Amino acid sequence: MRLFALRGANCVQANEAGAILDATEQLVRELMARNALEPEAIVSCIFTLTEDLNAEFPAVAARNLGLSRVPLLCAREVQVPGSLPRVIRALVHYYAEKDHTPQHVYLGEARALRADLESAQ
């Protein structure tokens, strides 16, 4: 087994709790599905939000998906002029077999953040 780090992002339609939870749930589900992750394999997860999102913690969605024993942290993304608005990003640390290839996930408008990654599509 080896420790891996996995990245992902999704855009939120509006600064509303339901929208943040839905976008986070979609992102976490896709990260777990593409990487065949079970909650027991996840070591920790860090979520960041752009400055225009503050209606809910993304960690709430992760807890609702069964990540109740995983350390979760929410933080503010660096505000860079001209950057993509309403973005939730995730950094997931997890254990997998040594030959595993992480499949990063960028959904919706967030695909523009890492168009260079085939797995972002």
Q: How far apart are CA 121 and CA 110, in angstroms?
A: 10
- Per the rule left: phi > 0, alpha: psi between -120 and 50, beta: everything else, 78 is beta
Q: What is the CATH number of the domain that holds 115?
A: 3.30.1330.40
CA distances from 37 to 78, 94, 95, 102, 106 (A): 29, 8, 9, 11, 17
Neighbours of 23 (CB within 10 A): 24
Instruction: List, for residues 4-44, the tens digit of each pLDDT value.
Output: 999 999 999 999 999 999 999 999 999 999 999 999 999 99
Give the chain's radius of gyration (CA, Å).
Answer: 14
The CB-side HSE value for 66 (13 A sphere, CA atoms) comes to 9
For 86, the domain range is: 2-120
Q: Which residues pair with 46 in a beta bridge?
A: 73, 91
Instruction: List, for residues 52-80, the tens digit of each pLDDT value.
Output: 999 999 999 999 999 999 999 999 999 99
Structurally, the chain folds into a number of domains equal to: 1
Instruction: List, for residues 89-117, the tens digit of each pLDDT value.
Output: 999 999 999 999 999 999 999 998 987 87
pTM of this prediction?
Answer: 0.93
The CB-side HSE value for 61 (13 A sphere, CA atoms) comes to 23
